[in-house]
């Protein structure tokens, strides 16, 4: 119950802050009348995994290096990690099987 109240409170606070910023920007655009109206947040897809984000008039351009991400997941380090996880899960499965076998021997049916 407390967790739900917490989530609701955080959501309400975020909505109030977003509304306040939006209202302030709209009042600024009406009072100052800049050449290009100020926008709080704008996300633009420029193609070829390039994006441009505008936040309160400041522009940031970036590209998502999809090739590097796929190279990372195919790297030796990640392959070894996957193998270690598989071995660990296999050992855990064997231990659980042995535990269940012994528990079934201890409790008659």
Mind listing the pLDDT tens digit of every residue in the chain (109 residues)?
A: 677 888 888 888 988 988 888 888 888 888 888 887 777 778 887 777 778 888 777 888 878 776 666 777 777 888 888 888 889 988 888 888 888 888 777 766 5
SS3 108: coil
Q: Largest Cα–Cα distance of the chain, in whole Å? A: 84
Cα angle 56, 62, 67 (rounded to 5 degrees) comes to 155
Cβ-defined contacts of 54-62 (< 8 Å, 24+): 56/25
SS3 52: strand
CA 15 to centroid of chain Cα atoms = 19
pTM for the model stands at 0.42
Instruction: Calculate Rg over the CA atoms of the chain.
Output: 27
């Amino acid at each position: 119950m407390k967790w739900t109240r917490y989530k609701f409170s955080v959501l309400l606070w975020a909505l109030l802050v977003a509304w306040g910023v939006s209202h302030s920007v709209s009042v600024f655009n009406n009072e100052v009348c800049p050449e290009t109206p100020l926008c709080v947040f704008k996300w633009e897809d420029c193609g070829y995994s390039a994006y441009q984000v505008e936040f309160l008039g400041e522009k940031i351009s970036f590209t998502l290096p999809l090739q590097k991400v796929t190279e990372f997941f195919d790297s030796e380090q990640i392959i070894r990690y996957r193998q270690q996880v598989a071995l660990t899960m296999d050992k855990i499965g064997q231990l659980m099987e042995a535990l269940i076998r012994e528990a079934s021997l201890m409790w008659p049916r």
